[in-house]
Structure 1
Amino acid sequence: MSKIIRIGTRDSELALWQATTVQQKLEALGYDTILVPTKSLGDQVLDKPLYELGVTGIFTKTLDVALLKGDIDIAVHSMKDVPTKLPKGIVQVAVLERAMTYDILVHKGSNFLENDQPATIATGSLRRKAQWLNKYPNHKVVDLRGNVNTRLLKLIENDWQGAIFAQAGLERIKLLPKDAIQLDWMIPAPAQGAMLVVAKEEDDFTKEALDKLNHSETEISTTIEREFLRTLEGGCTAPIGALAQIKDHMVYFEGVVFSLDGKQKIEIKKEAKLSDAKNLGKASAQEVLQKGGDKLMQEIRNENSTVH
């Protein structure tokens, strides 16, 4: 094993935790590795909401370029940040076992949830914003950007009542407050809680090494969710949630798309035998489109184009 596997990663604490996890697993198998941290465009431009930047793969593009140029051998990503269509020459080589999929509310006191009073909640996600406004239409949702540490600090500094985070991210870097509220009613982003490793298509040595880290159940679940997203033509510019769970050789799928203001909601729940689940995400999305999702997605595209 003479080759040193160069692991590309964003330089945030959470991204470095993820890359280090992959590094430790590879080194336990006898491979030599080195971390190559970099800053993505999504980490540099923090004064605009993600959907206003209009860049697909804003957190992954810098690493894609490094990979194709040969500066790194693999890139480690939060899978929910990765576009459903990978750049030519780059392939998915491993999906690690998934962590918690839930979103959570970090707050300064949760009384405002019980007495229906006006409140301000922060999130940079259109999906979280739409679902929150659907449930709490009298609340205001403000944009929140930056890495996990930055966003927690901004919550402390501002007079917001709370902010929404992925549970997995805060748990991984040990910043999950004891009183955080698990939002079990909120459908997560497709592939939330999963880590994805990509490599160059022609790099057989690296592909063989990473194949040993792949968790097949997580790979199946996230593939179904990302197929749902791809078929709806979503991404970070549309409020789309999806979750596939495997239990007793069955797949239980839940998908949803909202209008940007959270007032319209089209959801679907389906189940299938694991052996028959290959096209479950695509079929579910097509059903959503037939139920009015096509019109809703067009409205979202129109609203986004006016922003750009």
Structure 2
Amino acid sequence: MSKIIKIGTRDSELALWQATTVQEKLETLGYDTTLVPIKSTGDEVLDKPLYELGITGIFTKTLDIALLKGQIDIAVHSMKDVPTQLPKGIVQVAVLERAISHDILVHKGAGFLESNSPATIATGSLRRKAQWLHKYPSHKVVDLRGNVNTRLIKLIENDWQGAIFAQAGLERIKLLPKDAVVLDWMVPAPAQGAMVVVAQKDDAFSIKALQKLNDPNSELGTSIEREFLRTLEGGCTAPIGALAQFEDQTVHFEGVLFSLDGKQRLAIQKSVPQKEAKGLGEKCAKEILSKGGDKLMQEIRNENSALH
């Protein structure tokens, strides 16, 4: 075919696995491709929590710039890292079939979960931290940054009892411990477990190629979750979880908003026929906002601005 598609990716092991997966699918369809690994700001700045860096899309921004400059033709992302508002000139083209969306606990012995003894858990996610403290208020949660491999090494090197990861990420690079605890009570990040591919809006060749990789159910589920996130957040980083699942032409949606300390929890669950799912995320978010979510979001904004 007439063009070699340049696939932009972060250079972590997981990001390269994702980009290679897209590359293999495109080449199976007869397209010529090449991988272009790029280091992101999010990978380089490891001494500050993500939410303190004040940048939306910290893991995607470097690739967005490369895409707009024409250094790459498409970019592959973990969809949960992608801001709900894409930069001008960039469009979402394909959501690949979604992997499992659960969070898991990697630990050095899970006995502490059954006792009331003090424990320290590591995560760089406000959402995971709030949900963990809601369930285990006597535990301490410390910040953990870096790619998956770096975070696993930090867990070994520190005297923490465990660290929280996305199950899909560890499975993809074959690092999921057999004794990892599945946190099925923790509502995942919107679009967790999904990979998304973006392109320049006027690149008809790449768009046509990528459309063949799109999974409609994964696209719909993640769009509902991200709509919930976008409606609640209004540009603010907050502990928000959302999951849309499909069963017999029905969409089952669950969304949560927590205070930063995990003490307050606002939740919603709704099931609608799949053909009526348009706008479901926004409706659920507005219901949360009307039941105290607007006040809670304002408190979170105030706390975040005090941090910055």
Give the TM-score taking structure 2 as reference length.
Answer: 0.99
Compute the displacement of 1:305 (Å): 0.3
Q: Which residue of 1 aligns with 2:27?
A: 27
Indicate if the aligned counterparts of 1:234 and 1:240 stay in contact, CA closer than 8 A: no
2:283 corresponds to = 283
Matches within 5 A, 1:75-114: 75-114=75-114
Once the two structures are TM-superposed, the CA of residue 233 in structure 1 deviates from its matched residue by 1.6
AA partner of residue 38 (structure 1): I
2:158 paired residue number: 158
Partners of 1:57 and 1:82 within 8 A in 2: yes
Identity %: 79
Structure 1 residues not aligned, in runs of 5+: none
How large is the RMSD of aligned CA atoms in angstroms? Answer: 0.8
CA–CA separation in structure 2 for the residues paired with 1:195 and 1:151: 21
Task: Please state how far the C-alpha of 1:299 moved relative to its aligned partner.
Answer: 0.4
Map residues 42-121 of structure 1 onto 2, 5 A cutoff.
42-121=42-121
Check the 8 A contact 2:49/2:124 in 1, yes or no. yes
Tell me what 2:301 maps to: 301
Shift in Å at residue 282 of structure 1? 0.3
Correspondence list, 1:142-291, <5 A = 142-233=142-233, 237-291=237-291
Question: For the Cα contact (< 8 Å) 1:250–1:274, is it kept in 2?
Answer: yes
What amino acid is the match of 2:230?
Answer: R
1:123 corresponds to which residue? 123
Query: Residues 234 and 263 (structure 1 numbering): CA distance in 2 closer, same or farther, change over 3 Å?
Result: farther
Q: Secondary structure, in 3 states, of the residue corresponding to 1:214?
A: coil
The one-letter amino acid paired with 2:93 is V
Conserved? CA contact 1:121–1:142, under 8 Å: yes
Q: Deviations over 1:22-43 (max 9, x none)?
A: 0000000000000000011100
- Do the aligned partners of 2:94 and 2:197 also contact (CA within 8 Å) in 1? yes
Distance in 2 (alpha carbons) for counterparts of 1:245 and 1:254: 9
Deviations 1:73-124 (A, max 9, x none): 0000000000000000000000000001000000000111001211000000
- Separation in structure 2 between the aligned mates of residue 8 and residue 235 of structure 1, nearest angstrom: 26
Amino acid at match of 2:293: G
Deviation at 1:304, TM superposition (A): 0.3
2:39 maps to which residue?
A: 39
CA contact (8 A) 1:190 1:242 kept: yes
Deviation of the 1:234 alpha carbon: 5.8
Contact preservation (8 Å) 2:243, 2:255:
yes
Code of the residue aligned with 1:133 in structure 2: it is L
Q: Is the 2:7–2:19 contact (alpha carbons within 8 Å) kept by the matching residues of 1?
A: yes
Compute the displacement of 1:236 (Å).
7.6
TM-score, normalised to structure 1, is 0.99
Q: For residues 205 and 295 of structure 2, what CA distance do their matches in structure 1 show?
A: 46
1:83 alignment partner, SS class: coil
SS at match of 2:169: helix
Report the Cα distance in structure 2 between the residues aligned to 1:138 and 1:234, rounded to whole angstroms: 31
Contact 2:236 2:301 in 1 (8 A): no
Counterpart in 2 of 1:13?
13
Partners of 2:61 and 2:28 in 1: how far apart?
29
Structure 1 position 253, deviation (Å)? 0.1
Letter in 2 for 1:238: A
Aligned partners of 1:238 and 1:264: how far apart in 2? 13
Q: Is the 1:51–1:236 Cα contact (8 Å) retained in structure 2?
A: no
What's the secondary structure of 1:269's corresponding residue? strand
Task: Kindly provide the amino acid, as one letter, of the partner of residue 305 in structure 1.
Answer: S
The separation in 2 between residues aligned to 1:268 and 1:234, in whole angstroms, is 19
**Judging changes above 3 Å, is the alpha-carbon distance between structure 1 residues 127 and 235 closer, same or farther for their aligned structure 2 residues?**
farther
Q: Is the 8 A contact 1:122 1:160 kept in 2?
A: yes
Give 1:99's aligned amino acid.
Answer: A
C-alpha contact 1:60 1:77 (8 A) present in aligned 2? yes
Secondary structure class of the residue paired with 2:15: helix
CA–CA distance in structure 2, aligned partners of residues 252 and 182 of structure 1: 20
> Secondary structure, in 3 states, of the residue corresponding to 1:127?
helix
Partners of 1:116 and 1:73 in 2: CA distance: 53
Which contiguous aligned blocks of 4+ residues in structure 1 show a shift greater than 3 angstroms? none
Question: Following the alignment from structure 2 to structure 1, what is the Cα–Cα distance between the partners of residues 297 and 99?
Answer: 30
